[in-house]
Amino acid sequence: MNKTELVLVVQKALGKDTSKAAAERSVNAVIEGIKKGIKKDKEVQLIGFGSFKVSKRAARKGINPRTKEPIRIKASRTVKFKAGAGLKKLA
């Protein structure tokens, strides 16, 4: 499922009175809320769905696949998602 398909599912769930534009604004609002929560609190937890959490990656050694030379990969941050119990049951 992509974002366009998700918008259509949200539109259908909200009822006949909801336009596609309103459903898209709703989806965008949720995504922006998650982004702001991650930026501010470093974690967003949605009970029954899952948690988004900022995680640190340590610096490490790697290999350039083209030249096979060793390289140093800098430390970085990433966002990880851990599925909640309700979501795991669907898989």
Check residue 43 and give its pLDDT: 94
On average, the pLDDT of the chain sits at 94
Determine the pLDDT at residue 55: 94
Could you tell me the CA-to-CA distances from 21 to 17, 27, 31, 32 in Å, in that order? 12, 10, 15, 16
Q: Where are the domains of the chain?
A: 1-41, 45-91
Q: What are the pLDDT digits (tens) for 36-64? A: 999 998 999 999 999 999 999 999 999 99
Q: How far apart are CA 19 and CA 31, in angstroms?
A: 19
CA dihedral 29, 33, 36, 37 (to 10 degrees): 180
pLDDT tens-digit map of 66-75: 999 999 999 9
Which architecture does CATH list for 45-91?
Irregular (4.10)
pLDDT at 83 over 90: yes
* Tokens matching residue 11: 């539109």
Pairing of strands 70-73, 60-63: antiparallel
Residue 75: predicted pLDDT:
96
